[in-house]
Every structure is written in structure tokens, then in C-alpha cells.
Structure 1
Amino acid sequence: MKTVLNVIWLILCGFWMFLGYVVAGLVLCITIIGIPFGVAAFRIGIYALWPFGYTVVDRHDSGAPSFVGNVLWLILAGWWLALGHIVTGIALCITLIGIPLGVANFKLIPVSLMPFGKEIVRTDDPFASR
């Protein structure tokens, strides 16, 4: 079932959201200071491309640098990437078959707003709740 949902996701919105994250990552990688933000954009972009079967967990070893990074991320790219998830989530929830995909879009909003201090893991990973 995960594969079917991922293929439908890829066709309807996953590829376009992935392109948004890639563009954000490339723009953020222009400066040396922005490279960690660009890497975070690429990491979330791959998750946005194929989200079913993966989940986001908090890293317990993150601290103040993650907080500062999240504040800068929110200002630089997070708000408009989250807006993209909101718009596509609402559009997908209009149809009956799109409701699970819309809910998945809404689940991507927290990680698109504050990606530092989080880790993307497989749902069948026994160590996912570290």
C-alpha cells in the first residue's frame, strides 16, 4: 500500500514539492553560511518526494544550534515551503482519493518549518524512537 500511495503522491504533488525544495536548496547553497540550510532542504526534498514509509523523529542530542538554525530557516525558506504544503494539502483534500495525500502534506508542514533537530527514519526501523 505504501508503494501505491507513493506513486500517486509522486504524480500529483511529490515531484513538484521536491522541485521546490531543490530550488530552495540551490539558492541557500550560494553562500558558505547557507550550505547547512541547503543540505536540510535537499534532505527534506527527498522525504517530500517519497514520504510514505518514513517518519520524522526528534533528535534528543540537538541543542541551541538547532534552535538558531530553525529560526534562520523559518525566515529564509521555511514559511514559503510550508505554504506550498498547505496549498497542495487543501487542493488534494477536495477529492476523496486525495485525502490521505492531503493529510500527508499537512504532516510535512512541521518539518518544513523547523527541520533542524529532526531526523527522517523508516517507519519499520526498530530504533526510530531514539
Structure 2
Amino acid sequence: MKTIGNIIWFVLSGVWLGIGYMLAGVVACITIIGIPFGIQAFKLAGYVMWPFGRTLHESPGHRFSKGVMNIVWIIVGGLWLALLHLLFGVLLCLSILGIPFGIKNFSMAKLALFPFDYAVGPVADGTPAEAGPVVALD
């Protein structure tokens, strides 16, 4: 079921969101200071293109440093990416088939604003995997 959901997601909004994150990553990598933000955008692009079957966990690390990185991220491009998620969420919620995908976009808007607070991990049997590998987004 998650493969079908991912394929529908990819066609409806995943490809466009992935392009947006890739563009943000390229723009962020123009300067040396922006490279960590560009790498973060590339990691997020993979998640927003194929999200089902994975879940978000709290990222390890110091809260202050993650907070500073998130503030800079919001200024660099996170706000525009969150607005893109909200736009796709509203458009997808206009049809009954698109409502679950619109809700997923609304939840990803939080990720677009605060990416250094989360890590992506697998989902096992519909519940977050506690012992599975987690890929940190920072």
C-alpha cells in the first residue's frame, strides 16, 4: 500500500516539491557558509519525493545549535518551502482522493520550517521503528 501511496504522491506533488528542495539546496550551496543548509535541503528532497514508509523522529543534538540552524534555514528558504507545502495541501484537499495527500503536505510544512529538529526513520507495521536505523537530517 505504501508503494501505491508513494507513486500517487510522487505524481501529484512529490516531484514538484523535490524540485523545490533541490533548487533551495543549489542556491544554499553557492556560498561556503550555506553548504550545510544545501546538504539538508538535498536530504529533505529525498524524503518529500517518497515519504510513505518512513517516519520522523526527534534529531539528536543540542537544542540551541539546532535552533540557530533552524532560524537561519527559515531565512534562507524554509519559509518559501513551507508555503509551497501549504499551497499543495490546499490544492490537494479540493478533491476527496487528494485529502490524505493534502494532510501529509500540511504535516510536512512543519518539517520545511524546522528541518534540523527531525531525523527520518523507517515505519514498521504502521508504528515508528524504535530500533531501526535513523538517518539524521542534520
CA deviation map 1:32-70 (0-9, x unaligned) = 100000011111111000011111111243332211100
Q: Which residue of 2 aligns with 1:126?
A: 130
Give the SS at the match of 1:123: strand
What is the DSSP-based 3-state SS (H/G/I as helix, E as strand, rest coil) of the residue aligned with 2:15?
A: helix
Kindly state the Cα deviation for residue 93 of structure 1 after the two structures are TM-superposed: 0.6
Instruction: Report the count of equivalent residues.
Output: 129
Q: Which amino acid in the other structure matches residue 50 of structure 2? A: W
Using CA pairs below 8 Å that are at least 6 residues apart, which structure has the higher relative contact order?
1
Shift of 1:107: 1.2
Q: State the partner residue of 2:29.
A: 29
Name the Cα RMSD after superposition: 1.4
SS at match of 2:40: helix
CA distance in 1 between partners of 2:27 and 2:59 (Å): 26
Seq. identity, %? 42
Paired with 2:31 and 2:110, the residues of 1 have a C-alpha distance of 25
Structure 1 unaligned residues grouped into runs of 5+: none
Structure 2 residue runs of 5 or longer lacking an equivalent are none
Q: How far is the alpha carbon of 1:117 from its aligned partner?
A: 2.8
TM-score by length of 2: 0.89
TM-score by length of 1: 0.94
Moved more, 119-128 or 69-78: 119-128
- Of 119-128 and 78-87, deviating more is 119-128
- In the alignment, the residues of structure 2 paired with residue 107 and residue 86 of structure 1 have an alpha-carbon distance, to the nearest angstrom, of 9
